[in-house]
Structure 1
């Protein structure tokens, strides 16, 4: 009888919580608790695998638009302003197919995957670690509704995760950019040849050319991406808890990609151009630091020059970031069952 009485109190108390005016909060907390339980059930190896595969899959699906973005970003390094005025997405895509063939849209995709697998693995894994660490040192209860604190934690954890992943895998990112920027003249024949050539001609530090601009852009970009994604996903699940987790992740990931790309695209453009200095034996266009490159772009191409290639970037991030988050969440659920065996 005493046991039944205690069970009745628990059920009655839970029912009152669901029937109160804070029903959305209760549902949101339940969703958060479920997510925490799922996260606790997945080990380090499956989590790294989920992040790496998700990143590689999304990059492969959007490789053509990624290459078009890079080609647009580096057009300002040419002195022919007539080419700049005539450039358009369809014109550039037609030129690539006509001069290089359809497979050229995936030029450099092997090094992209080689970069994205470790990058995405480190990014997602370090984000979860930083998030847990920040909750611990701030004394926050992750099972309690605290939107402003959660937003700050997601933003800081995302920024630190982006910086960690970018620093660890930067040489492959630089090689990817140079391979993708090649058109008719194949100066670099592959990943290994590119690494050897850069070290021979520019020194070991040449592998880290543009790292400063990368960290300035990646930190805020990943911070915005994770914080927007987590906030939108939490709000969506609190309002429509019956919706598919996969579709919610796809939609929220796409919106977070748009937000982060818009905010940090100028820094990404500067990073690409810095990476291509000295590529293929070409002369150095910029002799000043990052601020000098900003001034040069604005003076020669106008403010719009800082957003050269933003349209294909939008076309890329909407499906790309959405696929990445959706794949990550799906793989985490699928791998949760095999974690104890790893």
Structure 2
């Protein structure tokens, strides 16, 4: 999932950025707006394209000792049989509602911080990584409630009571109703359950991804320029 997601995300981000340049030409739009639009589009495209894999990952992670699915093949077969094709996209709505502002904010903040931090004398040229960490923490915190709702909706369906967390509430009326139910039962803090752990994962992951992306992109561009010269 991550390999496919990253490939689609960065390809789409670059393509949308170039498309905006062609559309607006000399009428330059603010860099932050350009980054937000390109990031939001890239996030939406990558999420929709790889969503069935994301759903499978969440369901496998939610299994306990008594396994609901013994293999990936069985999981795909059972979901298709019991829930139909729509079952693979359960929770896609809140997933897109979360990823569009998340990736938009992430790339907008990252592009604003990348150049200033890049001028600092940081070890291993880690200005890119630092910008990625800040962007990830701010964006993730802002949209975390939708991410939490997405994961809870992903484990709905006929196997809901078979997971290790057997008290998962039933959400049948969409993301808005789910958010209302969480606030009523768990308070506003319930919308941020697991945020700290999520940030510990997202921040270093974003730092490594961005640092690697910039370095590989630089190598590819440099190689192309050398061949053309």
Normalization by structure 1: what TM-score? 0.60
Deviates more, 1:242-251 or 1:175-184: 242-251
State the shift of 1:282 in Å: 2.9
Please say if 1:301 is aligned against 2:186. yes
User: Which of 204, 209, 213 does residue 319 from structure 1 map onto?
Assistant: 204
The 8 Å contact of residues 246 and 330 in structure 1, kept in 2 or not, is answered as no
Structure 2 distance, partners of 1:291, 1:281, is: 20
State the shift of 1:241 in Å: 5.9
State the shift of 1:187 in Å: 0.8
Runs of 4+ in 1 over 6 A off after TM superposition: none
What stretches of structure 2 of length at least 5 have no aligned partner?
A: 163-168
Which whole-Å deviations, capped at 9, do the CAs of 1:210-246 have from their partners, x for residues lacking one? 0101100011111111111111002323xx2655674
Structure 2 distance, partners of 1:139, 1:337, is: 26
Which whole-Å deviations, capped at 9, do the CAs of 1:247-286 have from their partners, x for residues lacking one? 0111111111101101110000010011110263539712
State the shift of 1:195 in Å: 1.2
The 8 Å contact of residues 225 and 260 in structure 1, kept in 2 or not, is answered as yes
Superposition RMSD on alpha carbons, in Å?
A: 2.1
Which whole-Å deviations, capped at 9, do the CAs of 1:161-183 have from their partners, x for residues lacking one? 10111111111111011111112
Please say if 1:310 is aligned against 2:199. no
Please say if 1:116 is aligned against 2:2. yes
Which whole-Å deviations, capped at 9, do the CAs of 1:99-129 have from their partners, x for residues lacking one? xxxxxxxxxxxxxxxx111111010110011
User: Which of 124, 128, 153 does residue 14 from structure 2 map onto?
Assistant: 128
Please say if 1:261 is aligned against 2:134. no
Structure 1 distance, partners of 2:19, 2:71, is: 40
Structure 2 distance, partners of 1:175, 1:281, is: 13
Structure 1 counterpart of 2:36: 155
State the shift of 1:338 in Å: 5.6
Deviates more, 1:271-280 or 1:306-315: 271-280
Check 1:258–1:290 CA distance in 2 against 1; reply closer, same or farther (3 A cut).
same
Aligned residues: 219
User: Which of 214, 217, 225 does residue 329 from structure 1 map onto?
Assistant: 214
Structure 1 counterpart of 2:177: 292
- Residue 225 of structure 1: SS of its match in structure 2? helix
Please say if 1:274 is aligned against 2:153. yes
Normalization by structure 2: what TM-score? 0.88
State the shift of 1:140 in Å: 4.1
The 8 Å contact of residues 105 and 135 in structure 2, kept in 1 or not, is answered as yes
Larger CA Rg, structure 1 vs 2 = 1
